[in-house]
Amino acid sequence: MTSTDNTRKNTPGGIRARWNNLSRPQQWLALVPVVVLIYFIPVIDPPLLTTEPYTNFPIAMVHAAELAMVAIGLNVVVGQAGLLDLGYVGFFAVGAYVAALLTSKESMLHKLPYLATLPLAMVVTMLAGVLLGLPTLRLRGDYLAIVTLGFGEIVRLLATLVPALNGQVGFADVGHPPGTNADGSLIFSARDGTPWYWLVVTLIIILLLFVGNLERSRVGRAWVAIREDEDAAQIMGVPTFKFKLWAFAIGAAIGGLSGALVAGQTGFMNNQNFSVAFSVLYLAAVILGGSGNKVGVMVGAFIVSYIPDRFTNLSDRKYLIFGLFLVVLMIFRPQGLLGARQRLLARGRQAYQRLVGRGEQISSDSSVSAEGGGQA
């Protein structure tokens, strides 16, 4: 078991070590072609990767990107701060309804330009996050999970019961960013995924920069300390409640942003999009890719979104295959595809260089969840 473990770890470890030895500007430079490739994937429509003829490939890619954004938000809550949130879809729904209510012709509210609803959706969901967090973040672990599960259900039921939210009828003609092509057709339409994809990917990059800033700061350290041992964190001077609330608020805001984007991209929003199953799916993306690893959760989101789109011809059995894949992965890599990993110091490189003569962390193999099974 150990020998296979080692060989398996060698390859990613090698790449990782080489990556870590690059200086910061070199890393940025190396990322440029990757980002360019990511931007042009829907245009290239690579033969093996394509989801056609079953699903329009750019649309499949938008779905993947949207889920990646959700995963980044959920990762702040679950991966970084270690708060198990089973009602994340609730925040997503709040964001989606903010966008739908303020842009759809079928809503009675005053209309705003779609792009203005994006920051607004973030603010409103952030408030929702704080409201949910204030009374519940005193709870821990399973208890918090149950309460958040309830929150997700409350939002879904409100969408059904409050007349102004139009229940199953929902809202058609949700707004979209402005602009028309040369031939007069809309740039951002429900049929063409590519412009939406570019918008979402751009927003993801901005979010990653901000979330990275938080990670490599007192805030990120406080989150990981809370995840690792909340009592010890408190005694080491971390105001745990405050930082848990921040994690909730930031996670909620990102969830709300993705909700508003999805509402705009599909152009339609009703109460059917927010069942518990979605919360679980989001969580699956995070756990699958590697809770606590930003790149990991995006990979996880891509897989969770892509596989059903790719294998639509298997129709009913696609979830069976998907489920089996998850089970197998969790048996062999409980920490997810890429294990938890974070840099928590803005000036760690120089310090490590001085202390251990090497710019980086030594051990990156381990994970949070592997502790039980992995070490036995």
CB of 353 to another protein, least distance (A): 8
CB of 234 to another protein, least distance (A): 4
Query: Any contact of residue 198 with another protein (CB under 8 A)?
Result: no
Query: Any contact of residue 366 with another protein (CB under 8 A)?
Result: yes
Q: Between residues 20 and 275, which has the closer beta carbon with respect to another protein?
A: 20
Query: Any contact of residue 242 with another protein (CB under 8 A)?
Result: yes
Which of 210, 323, 327, 328 is close enough to bind another protein by CB under 8 A?
Answer: 210
Q: Between residues 318 and 349, which has the closer beta carbon with respect to another protein?
A: 349
CB of 361 to another protein, least distance (A): 5
Query: Any contact of residue 276 with another protein (CB under 8 A)?
Result: no
- Of 104, 120, 111, the C-alpha closest to 169 is 104
Which of 221, 318, 326, 374 is close enough to bind another protein by CB under 8 A?
Answer: 221
Query: Any contact of residue 370 with another protein (CB under 8 A)?
Result: no
CB of 312 to another protein, least distance (A): 39
Would you give the distance in Å from CA 337 to the centre of its chain? 15
Query: Any contact of residue 61 with another protein (CB under 8 A)?
Result: no
CB of 19 to another protein, least distance (A): 16
Query: Any contact of residue 5 with another protein (CB under 8 A)?
Result: no
Query: Any contact of residue 296 with another protein (CB under 8 A)?
Result: no
Distant-in-sequence, close-in-space partners of 132: CB < 8 Å, separation ≥ 6: 90, 147, 148, 151, 248, 252
Query: Any contact of residue 358 with another protein (CB under 8 A)?
Result: yes
Q: Between residues 233 and 261, which has the closer beta carbon with respect to another protein?
A: 233
Residues in the interface with another protein (CB under 8 A) total 50
CB of 284 to another protein, least distance (A): 22
CB of 156 to another protein, least distance (A): 29
Q: Segment near another protein (CB under 8 A), from 165-173, 190-198, 310-318, 354-362? A: 354-362
Q: Between residues 68 and 226, which has the closer beta carbon with respect to another protein?
A: 226
315: left (phi over 0), alpha (psi -120 to 50) or beta: left
CB of 330 to another protein, least distance (A): 19
For every residue of the chain, which 3-state class applies, written as one string?
CHHHHHHHHHHHHHHHHHHHHCCHHHHHHHHHHHHHHHHHHHHHCCCCCCCCCCCCHHHHHHHHHHHHHHHHHHHHHHHHCCCCCCCHHHHHHHHHHHHHHHHCCCCCCCCCCHHHHHHHHHHHHHHHHHHHHHHHCCCCHHHHHHHHHHHHHHHHHHHHHCHHHCCCCCECCCCCCCCECCCCCECCCCCCHHHHHHHHHHHHHHHHHHHHHHHCCHHHHHHHHHHHCHHHHHHCCCCHHHHHHHHHHHHHHHHHHHHHHHHHHHCCECHHHCCHHHHHHHHHHHHHHCCCCHHHHHHHHHHHHHHHHHCHHHHHHHHHHHHHHHHHHHHHCCCCCCCCCCCCCCCHHHHHHHHHCCCCCCCCCCCCCCHHHHCC
Query: Any contact of residue 213 with another protein (CB under 8 A)?
Result: yes
Q: Which of residues 329-348 bind another protein (CB under 8 A)?
A: 340, 344-348
- In the complex, which residues of this chain contact another protein (CB under 8 A)? 210, 213-214, 217-222, 224-225, 227-229, 231-240, 242, 246, 250, 292, 340, 344-348, 350-358, 360-363, 366, 368, 371
